[in-house]
Amino acid sequence: MRHTSPCLDAFGPTGRASAGRSGALRRRARARESPAQERTSLAVGPPFDSLYRHGFARVAVGIPAVRVADPVFNEGRTASLARRAAEARAVLTVFPELGLSSYTADDLFHQDALQVAVEASLAHLLDESARIPGVVVVGAPLRVGTGLFNCAIVMHRGEVLGVFPKSYLPSYREFYEKRYFAAARDALAHEVSVSSRRVPFGNDLLFEASDLEGFAFHVEICEDLWSPIPPSSYAALGGATVLINLSASNAVVGKADYRRQLCASQSGRCIAAYVYAAAGHGESTTDLAWDAHALVYENDDLMAESERFGGEQLVTADIDLMRLVQDRMRMTTFADTIHDHRERLGRLRRVTFELSVPQGAVPLEREIQRFPYVPSNRARRNERCAEVYRIQVEGLTTRLAATGIDKAVIGVSGGLDSTQALIVATKSMDLLGLPRTNALAYTMPGFATTVRTLTNARRLMEALGVHAGEIDIRPSLTQMLKGLDHPAARG
């Protein structure tokens, strides 16, 4: 399918005029279609055995080997991983912060030689992207007006859809970004020229695919996520289901866990996927270390993670877009927050583009847990079971105290469910300062009761010290069967 030019919904006079002309052309084209042609076009789409048919999208994170201030080498490694991601049928591939120049170029950022080389490599990568289906997001320093900005460039099939400048620049500990870069808030322009093409520029861009329902993404860069209110929070409220972070983030002890917490928390609060790419091998010529940490979360669930310090690598994950859309509809708080920030959300600029999802069979590679509500890790499973027990005890204890009821009656079969219930009732009596005999336990052997389960029930009641009773229900059941004139009553 042919790629169409981006359509800007809120990009100023030029964008609106372009959108209007594009819309008019589409309407005239549809008017020329015959009904049969229209039905055929509607029928075109991924086959049933493609994950894209069922509301999923495959995303990728590429961590290339880099050389400091060597854009030619860095562009080559980036393009290679982008091609691999396309072969894996991913529709979005994300690369680390300032990946074309390297993050640690320091004062070289202000050298014309590096800037010229970055622009040339970016132009070459843009040409390469014309042969790569799917969106590619790379990091590079770009001059805009009188400032140099730490940017993420979004490209698709040979076109730049938009450029994101970094919002928050760290200048503490080992970071000195304010020495080299201007922040997004300092930009005066809303457009930038990339390879002689004028494209949207700003941290208020939101990209929406016209041919993949629920696929809308926003980009932020490294420190943006560390801020109290990340820009992606507003983007999620504005409709972005996939949040992207291009990062460098050097490795120090304990930092990886904090990254996981940040990405998991942001994806959970925003009910979104969070795709994170950190710099890897070769990033620095100093004593700083870079661990090639790639993460993909979906609504607080870890979907994919790279091998830290694993060198050049590509990780993929299948995101359930429809799950995110439906969860947002159910979460009334999400809609309330949209209402409270509608003025700012109304200023988001939306870029609509035709993604052209992969055709043919694309099997789902998402891991489906056999027991989705039971952790496979033994320690976490034990912790979860203990939590369930404490919740049940707390609920029953509170209810008994509130109602003034000092006894509980429970049937004990000798199976797992009634065993758990009796243990909870016994613990509640202990917490209320009542004798355990106030838990009135009864076993009721019937036609199907085995010697084993009856023995288990008797031993359990004795071990817990509760009031133990036994009611043989076989005579009453026989009488009921007789009243129904059931053949079983006659043997």
Annotated active-site positions, please? 97, 166, 222
Render the burial of 404-413: b for 16+ CB within 10 Å, e for the rest.
eeeebebebb
Looking up tokens 């700003």, which residue turns up?
A: 202
Half-sphere exposure (Cβ direction) of 408: Cα atoms closer than 13 Å: 26
Amino acid residing at 421: A
Distances (CA, A) of 403 to 396, 397, 476: 11, 10, 33
Q: Across-strand partners of 139? A: 152
- The CB density around residue 45, as the number of other CB atoms within 10 Å, is 13
Amino acid residing at 47: P
Q: Which two tokens stand for residue 379?
A: 């320690």
Q: Is 445 helix (H, G, I), strand (E, B) or coil?
A: coil
CA distance 139 to 123: 13
Looking up tokens 């099997």, which residue turns up?
A: 363
CA distance 454 to 366: 44
Q: Strand 205-209 to strand 349-353: parallel, antiparallel, or no bridges (unpaired)? A: parallel
CA distance 411 to 265: 43
Phi, psi (5° rounding) for residue 422? -70, -40
Q: Which two tokens stand for residue 422?
A: 């009796």
Query: Which candidate, 57, 63, 58, 56, places its Cα nearest to that of 246?
Result: 63
Provide the greatest CA pair distance for the chain.
101
Query: Which candidate, 262, 280, 260, 258, places its Cα nearest to that of 270?
Result: 262
